[in-house]
Amino acid sequence: MSKARKTPEFKNETEERAFWESHDSTEYVDWKQAKRAQFPNLKPSTKTISLRLPESLLDRIKIEANKRDMPYQSLIKVWLSDDVEESRRP
């Protein structure tokens, strides 16, 4: 690839976003020199949801969480994640 073009200076993030939506990054970045980045301390975004459960089920979940010495909401997340992963396996 020939010499990459200089990336323009942007006044704000909105201006930069508009620029990259209409320009090809290969004109500005030599992707052959790119290195894989790792962000080990980056926490995934979460979203609060409302989930209606029968009280008896919630009580049983809380008992199981208490046995594992963990918050019941964390246990629900673990169970959901495990089930989704298991269902995606061939």
| pLDDT tens track for 46-66 | 899 999 999 999 999 999 999
Q: CA end-to-end span of the chain, whole Å?
A: 41
More confident residue, 5 or 20: 20
Question: What does residue 82 show for φ and ψ, rounded to 5 degrees?
Answer: -60, -45
| pLDDT tens track for 73-87 | 999 999 999 999 998
Please name the residue that has the structure tokens 């926490």: 43
Residue 1 has pLDDT above 60, yes or no: no
Least confident of 5-9, 18-22, 53-57: 5-9
Q: What is the pLDDT of residue 2?
A: 53
